[in-house]
Structure 1
Amino acid sequence: MAEPPVPHGLDAQGCIAREGSLALVPHAFRPVVVAARDRLLDTLGARLHSAYLYGSVPRGTARVGRSDLDLLVALREEPADADREAVRALGEALDKEFAQIDGVGTLLYGRTRLLSEPETYDLGWFLACLCTPLLGDDLAEYLPRYRPDSLLARETNGDLARLLPRWRERIDAAGDSEEALRPLVRFMSRHLVRTGFTLVMPRWSGWTSDLREMAEVFGAYYPQRAAQLLRAAEYGHEPAGDADVLRSYTDDLGPWLAGEYARVHGVKAPRPD
C-alpha cells in the first residue's frame, strides 16, 4: 500500500483547525466579497444573524472565472420562502455582475437549526471548521472542538445511500444537455471525493479540503478504487458534461462507497430534510 500524505490540518490539541480567513481572499475576489456582505445586510436586515464564506475563496485558492462564491447565512429565525427567493436573486445578481466568479452557492439556515444537537457533528462542524466569519456574531463560539473521528465521519457523509436515488433522478432530468450535466458532474464528483476521504479520515488522523489530496489519502487505504477517486477529483475541478461519468458514480463507485461507509462508520442519523 502506498503511504498517504503526512497528516495535517489539526491544532496542537489534535482538533481540526478552522480553515480559511478573510486575509486569504485573493485580491481579484475582494470586491465580490464586499458586495456580498453589503447586499446581505440590505436584503435580510434584522433577520440576519451572521454570514460566512467557505470554499476556495477564503482558502485563497479560488481561480478567476472558474471558482464560485460559497456563502452560509444564518437567520435569527428559520428561513421562509421569501428569504430563500431573496438570497437566490442576490446570488444571481452577483454572478451576473462579477466575471471573477462562476456562480454563487448559498446555504440558508436558522440559528436554532445550526446549533441543534442533531446538527452538532454535521452543520455545526461545517460552520465551526470550514466557514470564515463575514458578518455578525460567530456561532462557532457555541460549538465544541472537533476531532477527525468516526462520529464526525458518520454524521457528515454517512448518508450516501439515501442520496443516490435522488442523484439518478437528477441525471435523468438533465437528459443529454451538456449545460445541465456539467454542474452535476462537478457537484457529484466533489461529494464522492469528500465521502471517500472522510471514510478514511479517522485512520489518517488529519484534515484537508484539497480534492486531490483527499483522493490521494483515500487511495492509500483503498488502492483498488484509487484511480476512480483521483479521476473524480479532476472532474471536481474540470467537469465534463458527460452522463456516462454520472452513471459510473450512481451504478458503481457510489453504491460501493455507501456500503463500505456503512460497514466502517454506520449510517448518518436522519434529518428532517
Structure 2
Amino acid sequence: MDETAATEDKGLAADGTIRREGSVERVRTEFAPVVGAARVRVAEAFGPARLHSAYLYGSVPRGTAIPGVSDLDLLVALREGPTARDRAAADGAAAALDSAFPVIDGVGVLLFSVETLLGEADRHDAGFLLACLCTPLLGEDLAVRLPRYRPTSLLARETNGDLALALPRWRDRAAGATSGEARLRLSRGIARHLVRTAFTLVMPHWGGWTSDLGRSAELFARHYPHHPERAAQVRAAAAVARTPSREPGVLTALIDDLGPWLAAEYTAAHGTKAPRPGG
C-alpha cells in the first residue's frame, strides 16, 4: 500500500464514522463580523415561532474561505415546512448580508423543516449535511438526534445520485444566462456540484470524506487512472469552482460533456437517489 494513502487523513473518527467538519473556532478573523451579523439576521428574519436552529457550512466554518471570493452558506431548520414568506425572508437576509460585507461573494440559505432533517427519506442527504458538514450557529443542534455516518455507497447515492435530473435544469439556466455575471455564478455552482459528484463516486472505495474540491478532484483522478481525460476535466472543474468563468463554452463543457458521463458512471456504480415525498 502507498505510504501516503495509508497515513492520510480521511476525515474519520476513531470508530470509522465521518467526523463533523468545521467549527466557529475555525472561522477566520476576516469573516467573524459577517458570521455575527448572520446570527442576528437569521434570528430576526424568522423569529422564535418559526426558527428551530441555524447552521453554517462550507469554507467559512472550515477556515478555508478566501476574502472577497468565498460565499457564505447557511442552513436554517424551521419548526414547520418552509413557506413563500420564509423563502422571501431568507432571500432578504441573504441580500442584506451580501451587500453589507464585501468579504463574501454571495450568500446561500437552505431552508428545511425539522421533520425533513430528521426524517428517514432525507437521512442520508439533508440529515448528513447537517450532522457532518454543518456548524451550529443558533438553537438546539439537531445533529445529536441523527446517526453517525460512514462513507458508503448508500451515502454516495443519496447525496449525489440525482445528477441526471439536474442536467436538464442546468441547460435551461445556461440558455437563459445571457450576461457574463450570470454565467460566472452558474459556472461556479455547477462546477462545485460536478466535483463533489466525482468525489462521492469514488468515496466508498477510498473510504473517507473531504469537502476540499482540489483534493476531491485528485482523489477522483487516483481512483480513475484509466480515464485520464475525465480526471483532467474534473481538475478543470475544480479550478472553475475556485475561479468561475464568464465563457459560454465552459458551461457547455461542464453540462454537455463531463456531466452526462459522470451521471451515467454514477448510476452504474451507486444507483439513483430515492424519490422524495412530493418530488
TM range (shorter): over 0.9
The change in CA–CA distance for 1:213 and 1:173 in structure 2 (over 3 A counts) is: same
Residue of structure 1 equivalent to 2:194: 192
**Once the two structures are aligned, what percentage of the paired residues are identical?**
59
Residue of structure 2 equivalent to 1:210: 212
How many residue pairs match? The answer is: 271
Q: CA RMSD in A?
A: 1.3
Residue of structure 2 equivalent to 1:229: 234
Residue of structure 2 equivalent to 1:244: 249
Contact 2:154 2:270 (8 Å CA) reproduced:
yes
| Structure 1 letter corresponding to 2:176 | A
Q: Distance in 2 between matches of 1:138 and 1:200?
A: 30
Q: Distance in 1 between matches of 2:3 and 2:89?
A: 48
| Structure 2 letter corresponding to 1:104 | V
Residue of structure 1 equivalent to 2:259: 254
| Structure 2 letter corresponding to 1:217 | L
| Structure 1 letter corresponding to 2:18 | I
Shift of 1:39: 1.6
Shift of 1:4: 8.3
Is the deviation greater in 36-45 or in 193-202? 36-45
Q: Distance in 1 between matches of 2:74 and 2:187?
A: 21
Residue of structure 2 equivalent to 1:14: 16
Give 3-state SS (helix, strand or coil) of 2:121's partner.
helix
| Structure 1 letter corresponding to 2:177 | A
Contact 1:8 1:207 (8 Å CA) reproduced:
yes
Residue of structure 2 equivalent to 1:140: 143
Give 3-state SS (helix, strand or coil) of 1:102's partner.
coil
Q: Distance in 1 between matches of 2:222 and 2:9?
A: 13
| Structure 2 letter corresponding to 1:244 | G
Deviations 1:2-56 (A, max 9, x none): 9985351000000000000000000111111111101211221121000000001
Q: Which runs of 4+ in 1 moved over 6 A?
A: none
Q: Distance in 1 between matches of 2:4 and 2:274?
A: 30
Contact 2:237 2:254 (8 Å CA) reproduced:
no
Q: Distance in 2 between matches of 1:8 and 1:109?
A: 29
Residue of structure 2 equivalent to 1:115: 118
Residue of structure 2 equivalent to 1:155: 158
Residue of structure 2 equivalent to 1:54: 57
Gaps of 5+ in 2: none
Shift of 1:101: 0.8
Gaps of 5+ in 1: none
Residue of structure 2 equivalent to 1:106: 109
| Structure 2 letter corresponding to 1:160 | L
Residue 193 of structure 2 corresponds to residue 164 of structure 1? no
Q: Distance in 1 between matches of 2:139 and 2:219?
A: 36
Contact 1:51 1:71 (8 Å CA) reproduced:
yes
Contact 1:15 1:146 (8 Å CA) reproduced:
yes
Residue of structure 1 equivalent to 2:84: 81
Residue of structure 2 equivalent to 1:66: 69
Residue of structure 1 equivalent to 2:269: 264
| TM-score, structure 2 as length reference | 0.94
Q: Distance in 1 between matches of 2:72 and 2:63?
A: 12
Give 3-state SS (helix, strand or coil) of 2:275's partner.
coil
Shift of 1:87: 1.1
Deviations 1:55-101 (A, max 9, x none): 01000011111111110000111111111101101110111111111
| Structure 1 letter corresponding to 2:237 | A
Give 3-state SS (helix, strand or coil) of 1:18's partner.
coil
Contact 2:21 2:134 (8 Å CA) reproduced:
yes
| TM-score, structure 1 as length reference | 0.97
